[in-house]
Chains A and B, each alone.
Chain A
Amino acid sequence: MEFGILSLITFLPLAGAIVILFLPKRDGLIKTTAMIFATASFISSLVMFLAFKSQLAGMQFVENFDWFEIGEFKVNYHLGVDGISILLVMLTTFLTPLVLLSSWRSIKDRMKEYMMFMLFLETGMLGVFLSLDMVLFYIFWEIMLIPMYFIIGIWGGPRKIYAAVKFFIYTMVGSVLMLVSIIYLYIQYQTLNIVQLANIINLPLDVEKWLFLAFFLAFAIKVPIFPLHTWLPDAHVEAPTPGSVILAGVLLKMGTYGLLRFCIGFFPESAYYFKTPIAILAVIGITYGALVSLVQRDMKKLVAYSSVSHLGFVVLGLFAVNTIGIQGGIIQMINHGLSTGGLFLIVGMIYERRHTRQISEFGGISKSMPIFAVFFMVIALSSLGLPGLNGFVGEFNILLGSFTSVFYDNPIFTIIAGTGVILAAAYILWWFKRVMFGPLDNEKNKKLKDMSLLEIAYTVPLVLFIVWIGIYPTTFMSKSEATVNAMVKRIYKKLDLKDPAKEDRIEFKMPKTKVISLSDNKLEDKHLETEETE
């Protein structure tokens, strides 16, 4: 087998970083080179996207080589893409060039290192989504810490060092325990192949529980799930705008991706066992994040906490473990990348003009910046889940999925999460009102320049996809459907639950009664007895 398109997508940015290392320190040249490589990676991912066969559930474009073998330990260079990862890969390759464009003016210091770290980061993130070997996955997972750490630490705000170190250590704590679990799995099954492992893992629940928790901790910190979220506001507030966009847009998705691929994919029994605590944490995250957003004075903090809330939805959807919930979770990951990324860009634009992010400093901006107002409006509305824009599609599916979930079997989570949607409307609209409307009384705000062509250039693609997903999500959701269906089917079979696809459709019409009857079936199930007695 040859190196294929996935290696190309993954390592083009790294190649760009290496080329930049040897370039002279001329900012224009460096920026252009970085752009070329990031765009090339995007174009190759587009080729891959178009050639991707949506009807197949398995891995596609697989590349598998022996990498190294030390003693009995065999690691492969194994890449592949399926319905779960393809959209995230696209999101990464799509966002990176936009982010580079947004740094065109805003980064002034040490351009060479900056662009190198950005490209390096892209390779790390793509590697995480594409790896099919546990050790390869772990390597990419860890290595992407380094560029992000530098991006926050060098180009960040006043408390950048604190934020960077906190980010690094938090993530390390989770991931080292995951490493121990990876080793344990290898010793049990003699393979690191992610696809194989998902099918063969069959451990007693009291062992599997611990493995699940180790993986869960690593991903929960990354997502972040309440109460492990405290690094996020710091990292976001201190990071430079492009760093925040990547952090919110892609890095956090590595956590939710991991939850889906490993926690749910590998250990469905434990996922079932822990479903209630996780759902509780998810809804706490949703409401807590929204409530904290409501009282923020700093716009970046507001967006940061809104991330906690939005990702709570994603987690709730994923752990519903039915096709609708997981599909909603996946599309919501993309939505969050687009709209929260967009909001960070918006905040960045204001910050560049006024060098403050305090909401109280602003008011009536829509008069001095009309074009800006339009873009801000669209992105803000997408973030709060207005039907017709992308946020609605994700949230609706998640709420539907969790409501009908055989896993949760309790509508209370959906009800509480629903209030999160209302709160989101509250904090976003209130924020929008305070910044954009009202009297334009601050002298400094009167002279604000409207969006430049460059700024429009990197915001338009975001808005385009926000609308596209909102109106016709099938383009994207169809890519993941087959994989998700197969996964749900496999899990239900393993847990001895009823065929999800059928049940889901029935539940559309009469959810309440049906759910109860399902739970009756479940009571008889041996596997689940311990859970039910609690």
Chain B
Amino acid sequence: MSLFIPNILNILPEVTLAVFGLLVLGLDLLLKNKTKVPVAVLSIIGFFTTAGMVIHQFYEPAEELVMQETVRSFSYIGMFYMLFLGAAILTVFFSIWYLKREKFNYGEFYGMMMFVVLGMFVMASANDLLTFFIGLELMSIALYIIVGLFRTRKYSNEAAIKYFIMGSFASAFLLFGIALIYGITGSTKLNIIAEFLGNNADVLSSPLLMVSVILLISGFAFKLGLVPFHMWTPDVYQGAPTTLTAFMSVAVKGAALCVLITVLLSLKLVSGSWVLILTVLAVITMTVGNVAALRQKDIKRMLAYSSIAHAGYILVAIVALSNPKASMLAGTSVLFYLMGYLFMNFGAFTIAYLVAGEGDEGYDIENYKGLSKKRPLLAGLMAIFMFSLIGIPPLVGFMAKFQVFYAAVKASFITLTVIAVLNSVVAVYYYLRVVVTMYMDEPEKRGERIISPWPVIVMLIILALAVILFGIFPDRAMDAIIYSTTSGLYFDMF
């Protein structure tokens, strides 16, 4: 028992989240048929408290394995925690007005959000593949529920079912992969696996390990929406509540990436032919995502395909991990990319739901005609987010891409970098189309009134300022991230 108390302190953020999650669900029961604002506020308080815990815990990085070596307590992972929390806070904040407008104001949404984040925490920090799997399932099941939140709507149901079935497939793949790895190495703990593979180099080329790794990578590819495992992404992103779509495109991907980095490093997959496989995945993911986005008429689908492309760019950084000279850089660039993407993507999706109007149907890009005359502020903000997504300096999207490319060139993947930058030119076209429609097309006569509550606008302005300021002064954000990677010795561990 005496051992248990210090142990639980190591996972204080997770415990806090779980407690608040239950409290939120309970509060929702008490507030039957009334406004759900208190529920949302409580969950935001919960997220902030957790953030405090995370900062406290990682202020002096422990950099060790805790809880019988099932959890990694590393400041690099702490940065991912902060990313998830930031995304969750924004999601809950924007959802208050969104769910009210759509008259699907269920308090469960906020409770489930807390469990989604809890699941992400568990999976991101897992050292044991089983712990990881539990976290993944916790996150996924909570997500399946809220993806289908608009339960009377066709698209929403389609999205939930599709996500559930595809997600289950992916989970099964992962589980099978984990089982095989256990069979080979005799452990599910990553550090032991790493040690085993270090001592038995001959296993590295065994077909069984190859099969298990392929299963694992396919599972991750599903979760990350990498081509060719991306088919579910546009439908699910389209059908899910828009605020949740933004969350999924940033945070869920972030969680999967965090685990992917850990697994790749510990399974020694950042060398040899695996790098080639990841490179190919990166190239086709970027290219297919961008080319498919060109043809989309629905802004949510467009952003969904573009998020596939962005995952491809991040994968470039993952490939760059393979070169020890650049692995630290690559690790920081992944985090910075996700952070920048968080700001731009939440901005874009939030404006998308505002413009869509009541009933949530106006996601056609045609709807943006003449927005700059009707709502100059909204149009201006959207333009900033779009230019940032393109990667125009000095916005944060540029700095994010720049660092990924820098890491890749440093790791001598020059051809890959060239393909990536050319891809980012393809992306110009579809992002610009939104700007063109807003600024250069004449407004249509009809067009419902856009209701934009002032707190949402204020938050959007803050996001736009973040996009600009983190672009001009990226070092402020990077210091924290770099601190987490260099002090944490995360990349030297394996």
Contact = CB atoms under 8 A, between A and B. Distances in A.
Nearest to B479: A70
A169 B428 contact: yes
A146 B475 contact: no
Contacts of B403: 70, 73
Given A153-B439, A161-B436, A70 B478 contact: yes
A139 B414 CA distance: 21
Interface stretch (B126-134, B275-283, B303-311, B387-395): B387-395
A181 B405 CA distance: 11
B392 A142 contact: yes
Contact of A169 (B406, B414, B425, B473): B425
B48 interface: no
Interface stretch (A170-178, A413-421, A449-457): A170-178
Contacts of B432: 149, 165, 168-169
B375 to A, nearest CB: 14
A149 B392 CA distance: 13
A36 to B, nearest CB: 24
Interface string A138-177: 1100110110011001100000110011001100110011
A176 B332 contact: no
A65 interface: no
Interface in B378-431: 387, 392-394, 398-399, 402-403, 405-406, 409-410, 414, 417-418, 421-422, 424-425, 428-429
Given A161-B440, A180-B405, A183-B405, A143 B394 contact: yes
A146 B425 contact: no
A68 B402 contact: no
A73 B332 CA distance: 13
Interface residues of A, number: 32
A443 interface: no
A71 B482 CA distance: 7
A40 interface: no
B393 A143 contact: yes
A138 B421 CA distance: 14
A164 B440 contact: yes
A70 B399 CA distance: 10
Given A139-B394, A176-B422, A176-B424, A73 B439 contact: no
Contacts of B332: 70-71
Nearest to A179: B421
Nearest to A172: B425
A142 B409 contact: no
Given A165-B432, A183-B409, A173 B440 contact: no
Interface of A: 68-73, 138-139, 142-143, 145-146, 149-150, 153-154, 160-161, 164-165, 168-169, 172-173, 176-177, 179-180, 183-184, 186-187
Q: Which 5 A-B pairs have the closest CB atoms?
A: A176-B421, A139-B393, A68-B475, A70-B478, A153-B440
Given A154-B439, A180-B421, 18 more contacts: A70-B399, A70-B474, A70-B478, A70-B482, A71-B332, A71-B482, A73-B406, A138-B393, A139-B398, A143-B393, A146-B392, A153-B436, A160-B440, A169-B432, A173-B422, A183-B406, A184-B414, A187-B409
26 contacts: A70-B403, A70-B482, A71-B328, A71-B329, A72-B329, A143-B392, A143-B393, A143-B394, A149-B432, A153-B439, A153-B440, A154-B439, A161-B440, A165-B429, A165-B432, A169-B428, A169-B429, A172-B425, A176-B421, A176-B425, A179-B405, A180-B405, A180-B409, A180-B414, A183-B409, A187-B406
